[in-house]
């Protein structure tokens, strides 16, 4: 091959011609180095719009004697009209083709091959609508750059487009655009799917239809997927950002979207479930229809979601909104707040607040630092504890350990089954007991305490009123500071006291004997009831009295010694041998009238000195 060329004006051709210095020429001369000559030929307008004449350099093989072609270099071939071949073994084999560089080949209409070993092919194909393509209009620029199909472009060292795919664009060393209308930009970028795009250095791959991979060491392998990120190494083992699911999206360093319609956004985020969404550093959505938004959230339960900082959800249909809610194995559950703990595979839980602990199905907790460990429990407030099934706690620092028990207030307790405790420091500890009021206590079965300091300790007893006490079984104390300590006793009224069994005290009275009744303020039953079957008066004995009492407490007291009372408005009672009715004043008046008339009649009948004394006796004066 000649190494020194000269440009000579050929007046007959009307153009400049590059020839060896050893060849003779005529006309205007201009010596120039071969490299500069080649540059002029490549970039000059005369090269692109030359006259209809052939040009060749000594040592070049121009295939045939056709016009409008240029061949420069040892064994260079410019074989068709309007072709250019420059370089050792360069070949321009189709109309309007250009091959520049050692062993460069342009084998298609309007093809351009630029660079050592650069190749453009001539593979005919048919596009989707049936239109045939002749394999032309290709561009290969760079050492060993290679294209084969219509409209393809390869620019860069060892870059290539597909051998049977059209309109690919590969830009960068080892870049490969192997799919129809695919684009690969960057060193070792690879796009193999139809309409796919790979942009980035190293192992950036888009190998599915419509896939897009942007960033180094990024892979988009799912149909119409999008991967945007960056890897950390230089080989395939360090490929990190991956969108392999159909229509998936992965954005962020080392992010992965591996299932259909999955979305992973953030460094090391993973969306592995169908329709899964993972957004945030280290976020994971590993099951179908899951959502993981925030740093370090991991969601593996289908249909579940976590929004906030590190929370792990393994249960299905569960959502967590907040930070540091630990590992949630619960199903069909909602957690809204921070630092909550849900233990075990429980179901149907609702938590709103912070630092709550729940260990049972269907629990509802609203507030902070509450504990619900029983089935169907409900908590509203702060620092409450519910361990009884179906228990309810409302307020602050309440304790519910009884089944279906209720505690409302502060520091109140409902510790037995079906108990109710309402107020501050109230306690309902007996089965079915009810305590309402500050410091009220109902400690026995079915006992009731209503009022400040009310205390019902008897079975089925009721204490109603401030500091009322019902300690007897079945007793009732109603009134401030009232006391019913006898079995089945009743004390009604402030300061009333019924201490005997079956006793009744109404008002500020004392019924302190069994079966006794004290009526009215300061009344008492301190004296005993006595049996009266007969009576002797003035030497006369009256007997066969009906209605004998059986016990010293069988009495009704309406007063006390020194505080006697009259009984007013007493209806007339029956007068008979068996009657136990009370006799009112009118009845006694009638009796006394008869006796008076009888005495007067005797006095009259006796006559003489007979005298009727005031006590009813008759004497002889």
Question: Can you give the pLDDT at residue 566?
Answer: 93
Residue 422 pLDDT level (bands cut at 50, 70, 90): very high
Q: Is the pLDDT confidence value at 235 over 70?
A: no
Question: Can you give the pLDDT at residue 241?
Answer: 86
CA distance 215 to 280: 18
CA-nearest of 280, 342, 288, 275 to 317 is: 288
Q: Average pLDDT of 44-59?
A: 44
For 605, the domain range is 592-620
Residue 57 pLDDT level (bands cut at 50, 70, 90): low
Q: Is the pLDDT confidence value at 6 over 70?
A: no
Q: Average pLDDT of 591-602?
A: 81
The percentage of residues in the chain with a pLDDT greater than 70, rounded to a whole number, is 85
Residue 550 lies in a domain: no
Strand partners, 386: 372, 400
Residue 128 lies in a domain: no
The least confident of 290-294, 404-408, 476-480, 579-583 is 579-583
Question: Can you give the pLDDT at residue 12?
Answer: 39
The least confident of 198-202, 221-225, 305-309 is 198-202
Residue 201 pLDDT level (bands cut at 50, 70, 90): confident
Encoding tokens for residue 184? 């690969």
Residue 399 lies in a domain: no
Question: Can you give the pLDDT at residue 5?
Answer: 45
Question: Can you give the pLDDT at residue 179?
Answer: 86
Tokens 């007339």 belong to which residue?
572
Q: Average pLDDT of 359-384?
A: 98
Q: Specify whether the CB–CB gap between 318 and 304 falls below 8 A.
A: yes
Residue 615 lies in a domain: yes
- Count other C-beta atoms under 10 Å from residue 234's C-beta: 13
Strand partners, 511: 498
Question: What confidence tens digit (pLDDT) does each residue in 63-89 have?
Answer: 645 567 888 999 999 988 889 999 999
Looking at the 3D structure of the chain, how many domains does it have? Answer: 1
Residue 127 lies in a domain: no
Residue 608 lies in a domain: yes
Q: Is the pLDDT confidence value at 11 over 80?
A: no
Strand 5-10 vs strand 29-31: parallel, antiparallel, or unpaired?
antiparallel
Query: Buried (b) or exposed (e) across 513-532, using 16+ Cβ within 10 A?
Result: bbbbbbbbbebbbeeebeee
Q: What CA–CA distances, in Å, run from 524 to 158, 350, 474, 555, 570? A: 119, 59, 22, 10, 21
Residue 292 lies in a domain: no
Encoding tokens for residue 455? 């205390």
Of 125-129, 181-185, 490-494, where does the model show the most confidence?
490-494
The DSSP letter of residue 107 is -
Of 136-140, 178-182, 432-436, where does the model show the most confidence?
432-436
Residue partners of 547: CB distance under 8 A and separation at least 6: 580
Question: Can you give the pLDDT at residue 14?
Answer: 37
Question: Can you give the pLDDT at residue 231?
Answer: 61
Residue 107 lies in a domain: no
């Amino acid at each position: 091959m000649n190494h020194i060329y000269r440009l000579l004006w050929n007046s007959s051709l009307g153009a400049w011609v590059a020839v060896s210095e050893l060849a003779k020429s005529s006309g205007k001369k201009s010596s120039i180095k071969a490299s500069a000559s080649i540059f002029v030929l490549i970039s000059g307008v005369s090269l692109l719009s030359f006259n209809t004449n052939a040009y060749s350099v000594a040592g070049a093989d121009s295939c045939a004697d056709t016009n409008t072609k240029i061949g420069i270099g040892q064994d260079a071939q410019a074989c068709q009209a309007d072709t250019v071949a420059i370089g050792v073994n360069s070949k321009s084999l189709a109309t309007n083709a250009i091959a520049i560089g050692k062993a460069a080949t342009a084998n298609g209409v309007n093809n351009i091959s630029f660079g050592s070993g650069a190749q453009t092919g001539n593979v005919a194909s048919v596009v989707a609508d049936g239109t045939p393509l002749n394999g032309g209009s290709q561009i290969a620029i760079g050492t060993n750059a290679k294209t084969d199909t219509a409209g393809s472009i390869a620019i860069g060292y060892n870059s290539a487009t597909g051998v049977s795919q059209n309109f690919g664009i590969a830009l960068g060393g080892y870049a490969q655009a192997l799919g129809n209308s695919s684009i690969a930009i960057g060193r070792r970028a690879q796009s193999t799917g139809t309409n796919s795009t790979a942009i980035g250095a190293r192992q950036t791959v888009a190998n599915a239809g419509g896939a897009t991979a942007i960033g180094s060491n990024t892979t988009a392998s799912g149909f119409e997927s999008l991967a945007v990120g960056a890897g950390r190494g230089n080989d395939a083992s360090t490929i990190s950002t991956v969108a392999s699911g159909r229509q998936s999206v992965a954005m962020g360093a080392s992010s992965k979207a591996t299932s259909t319609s999955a979305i992973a956004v953030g460094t090391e985020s993973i969306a592995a479930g169908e329709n899964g969404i993972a957004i945030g550093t280290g976020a994971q959505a590993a099951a179908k229809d899951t959502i993981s938004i925030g740093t370090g959230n991991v969601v593996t339960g289908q249909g579940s979601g976590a929004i906030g900082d590190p929370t792990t959800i393994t249960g299905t249909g569960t959502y967590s909104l907040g930070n540091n809610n630990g590992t949630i194995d619960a199903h069909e559950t909602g957690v809204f707040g921070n630092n909550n703990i849900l233990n075990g595979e429980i179901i149907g839980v609702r938590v709103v607040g912070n630092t709550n602990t729940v260990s049972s199905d269907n629990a509802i907790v609203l507030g902070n630092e509450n504990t619900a460990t029983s089935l169907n429990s409900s908590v509203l407030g702060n620092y409450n504890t519910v361990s009884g099934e179906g228990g309810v706690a409302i307020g602050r620092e309440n304790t519910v350990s009884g089944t279906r028990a209720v505690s409302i207030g502060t520091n109140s307790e409902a510790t037995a089954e079906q108990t109710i405790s309402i107020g501050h420091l109230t306690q309902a500890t007996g089965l079915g007991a009810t305590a309402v009021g500050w410091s009220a206590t109902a400690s026995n079965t079915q006992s009731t305490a209503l009022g400040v300091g009310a205390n019902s300790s008897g079975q089925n007893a009721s204490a109603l009123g401030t500091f009322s006490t019902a300690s007897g079984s079945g007793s009732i104390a109603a009134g401030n500071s009232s006391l019913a300590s006898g079995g089945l006793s009743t004390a009604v009224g402030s300061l009333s006291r019924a201490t005997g069994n079956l006793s009744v005290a109404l008002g500020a009275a004392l019924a302190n004997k069994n079966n006794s009744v004290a009526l009215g303020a300061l009344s008492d039953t301190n004296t005993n009831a006595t049996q009266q079957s007969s009576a002797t008066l003035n030497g006369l004995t009256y007997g066969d009295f009906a209605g004998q009492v059986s016990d010293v407490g069988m009495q009704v007291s309406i007063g006390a010694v020194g505080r006697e009372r009259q009984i007013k408005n007493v209806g007339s009672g029956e007068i008979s041998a068996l009657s136990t009715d009370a006799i009112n004043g009118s009845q006694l008046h009638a009796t006394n009238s008869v006796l008076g008339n009888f005495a007067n009649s005797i006095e009259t009948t006796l006559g003489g000195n007979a005298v009727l004394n005031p006590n009813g006796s008759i004497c002889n004066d």
